Structure 1
């Protein structure tokens, strides 16, 4: 018996077993996809448990309640004022990604391959115009050691603006050939769409974040005890909620025959296209977050009396656009990511009069969500090693939030993993850190 127990312990701590245990998320995701395939009515929008509310609101709200409990109010406000990072992410998320995908779709359309469904191409364009995802990029940024505070702010801003920007981009891309057949401009439902998205962002992001902040400041001891409990027993609330969100998305897609309404060749094309475009956008986000030419043009901090006025003003204007590694990780996760939690609402609201094509329109978005989570999970370990490799040795990076004051940001608790980590970063607008 003792030999058997020791053998079981050896197997349990074996490197292969440890690797398999570390991949628990994907095993659970596979199980949920199988359940969604054979019982789609359980968690779909309007299904047995009313997935649009119980999961679409409840699970997302729990994620941001955790965020509110784990972040210092002063730090959160400091990152909310980081207008440079918000501008970079919004331009990437809405304009650059959608324009590139539109160009690829035009090329595929011109090839006139009968196996690639025309409405799937519209679905790819719709996916590219959606705002950044609500949950997964926050979790991945936290796990990679990036600036999760900035990520939470971007989720709120991006999804709030997405209610206005996404329909406008869809109109811009589909109001003329070759995609005019997919124009949703029927004059109905746009006002309702805005109201629906504002309601969802408010109730699932803003309110729980505010409640978490209020609890943290009013009951700091109880909050610390709760977070310590999550850390002690390795309870990863964010990952559990993300699984349920993806479960609901797949249930809705299967219920609407999204995967049976198009050919297998088309599904394979979407999978490879999504994977390639996500990796490409991640690399593009890195180039936008840390443009090498800024360091070449502004290698040193301006010195009073020695540097010209032009150099000082140019330095203060452009040098902050070379972001710290923590901010760069946030940008690389937020820029390419697309939301399914709100994306499904955005698509169904715009195409309410064309429900016969709704399944085809949702296929690219649902597949993109699972592929971005799997790929981002791979990037987490790479980014974590990158940020720990040299601990910002070159002294050429900083995070910027306000041009008139120096803010010391202390982040004591990681959001969704429940891990207490002490991280501090100096935010200095016109000076090199360290």
Structure 2
């Protein structure tokens, strides 16, 4: 009887529906953390009990990039750093395209004179659209979807460093118009302090742990592989755990600053649906920018160089790479559509200096966008992974081939060394050479 019950429980536990429910553990944990943040916001907020701006803002993010540094080969990381086409595409979408679209929507909403939508929330939407890509979630989602996570790390570093300069300039551009001049940051004296703090945060939470991971994996490759194998064997997803903590801290800060109670429920509901629509639209735009069909029509076949002034050949070399691979496209879709709250909160609060009157309303769109982009992106992960299955399989085979070649090279080196030593020993044939032979052997 007991055995039958155990068999039934195993069947239920391994049922497809149960497996699906288990796979959604991230959202259960997120819901729990949001409830805790609602009733105990002082625990993980910026300046709270555990000093969330340091313990989570630095610690959790640093662990994510330390993990990236340990698992990414230096050669491929450097190769992706030089992928200037992808950098241009993502930066253009992240800062120019997304902000221009949101500004257009906000102008239309403002012109409708709907009293249910707070004007300062619209300013918050504009501020959100000018923020750089998020620091942690897009790296995790890209890796889970089988995308080019090496390129994603590069975009995080470049995007957030550029964002410290581009975001304030974009905010000034959009709030200098007559419709939103009331939201122009009143105090610009804190901009230099903003740059220093953001560069410090990116340096300590991204650069240093990434560099430490790279050094560790090259100096201690065996120990690093044992550590990574341990995480894989027991399905320990450090990136997802750290992402939960980052979102927990963001919600705690928002609840503490009364962000969700400072505007009407109608406005909150509108922002929730509007953010989802924006994220889906931005993802589609990223895909269209990443794989434009016009490039395939202009360059239908690979050319061969026929002369020094072969325009088609050089045009192909310059423009054809703008039609990205599936793995690179996944990275671009996650990076281009995402917006950071970890640095975004600092970017917003610093620009407005000591004027905290409408800070809660300004942060509503950003905090909600971050949580919604994680939820929607997690839905995309299995779809993207299935779409890029062929490239993922090819990449895995290449990595295995590289590993086999590396091991073969090591074995060959050992054999050559052994043959050399054997030849040296054989050449010492006289009894008087016994001591020298022993010295060579040792």
TM-score (norm 1): 0.89
Per the TM alignment, residue 187 of structure 1 is displaced from its structure 2 partner at its CA by: 2.8
3-state SS of 2:358 partner:
helix
Alignment coverage as a number of residue pairs: 400
Pairwise CA RMSD: 2.0
Query: 1:265 and 1:307, CA in 2 relative to 1: closer, same or farther beyond 3 A?
Result: farther
The answer for the alignment partner of 1:215 in structure 2 is 216
Q: 306-315 or 98-107, which moves further after superposition?
A: 306-315
2:177 and 2:277 map into 1 onto residues whose CA distance is 27
Question: Deviations 1:365-405 (Å, cap 9, x if unpaired)?
Answer: 010011100100011111111111x5499xxxxx9xxxxxx
The answer for the alignment partner of 1:99 in structure 2 is 100
The answer for the alignment partner of 2:295 in structure 1 is 294
The answer for the alignment partner of 2:411 in structure 1 is none
Question: Deviations 1:106-152 (Å, cap 9, x if unpaired)?
Answer: 00000010010010000000100000000000000001111000000
Per the TM alignment, residue 306 of structure 1 is displaced from its structure 2 partner at its CA by: 8.7
* 8 Å CA contact 2:134, 2:338 repeated in 1: yes
Query: 1:392 and 1:346, CA in 2 relative to 1: closer, same or farther beyond 3 A?
Result: closer
Larger radius of gyration: 2
The answer for the alignment partner of 2:417 in structure 1 is none
**Does 2:46 align with 1:24?**
no
**Does 2:249 align with 1:271?**
no
Per the TM alignment, residue 256 of structure 1 is displaced from its structure 2 partner at its CA by: 0.4
Per the TM alignment, residue 268 of structure 1 is displaced from its structure 2 partner at its CA by: 0.7
The answer for the alignment partner of 1:429 in structure 2 is none
Per the TM alignment, residue 200 of structure 1 is displaced from its structure 2 partner at its CA by: 0.4
Per the TM alignment, residue 222 of structure 1 is displaced from its structure 2 partner at its CA by: 0.5
2:170 and 2:95 map into 1 onto residues whose CA distance is 8
Structure (1/2) with the larger helix percentage:
2
* 8 Å CA contact 1:75, 1:149 repeated in 2: yes
Question: Deviations 1:4-62 (Å, cap 9, x if unpaired)?
Answer: 22222121111111110000000000000000000000000000000000000000000
2:86 and 2:166 map into 1 onto residues whose CA distance is 18
The answer for the alignment partner of 1:117 in structure 2 is 118
The answer for the alignment partner of 1:404 in structure 2 is none
2:301 and 2:16 map into 1 onto residues whose CA distance is 46
Question: Deviations 1:237-266 (Å, cap 9, x if unpaired)?
Answer: 000000000000000000000000000000
Question: Deviations 1:219-238 (Å, cap 9, x if unpaired)?
Answer: 00100000000001000000
2:109 and 2:373 map into 1 onto residues whose CA distance is 22
The answer for the alignment partner of 1:13 in structure 2 is 14
Query: 1:411 and 1:45, CA in 2 relative to 1: closer, same or farther beyond 3 A?
Result: farther
Question: Deviations 1:318-364 (Å, cap 9, x if unpaired)?
Answer: 11111111111100000010001111111111123221211101100
Equivalent runs, 1:119-268 vs 2, <5 Å: 119-268=120-269
The answer for the alignment partner of 1:352 in structure 2 is 353
Runs of 5+ unmatched residues, structure 2: 405-442
The answer for the alignment partner of 1:369 in structure 2 is 370
Per the TM alignment, residue 188 of structure 1 is displaced from its structure 2 partner at its CA by: 1.4
3-state SS of 1:302 partner:
coil
Per the TM alignment, residue 312 of structure 1 is displaced from its structure 2 partner at its CA by: 1.1
3-state SS of 1:122 partner:
helix
Q: 348-357 or 210-219, which moves further after superposition?
A: 348-357
Runs of 5+ unmatched residues, structure 1: 394-398, 400-408, 413-420, 423-434
Query: 1:197 and 1:410, CA in 2 relative to 1: closer, same or farther beyond 3 A?
Result: farther
1:90 and 1:391 map into 2 onto residues whose CA distance is 25
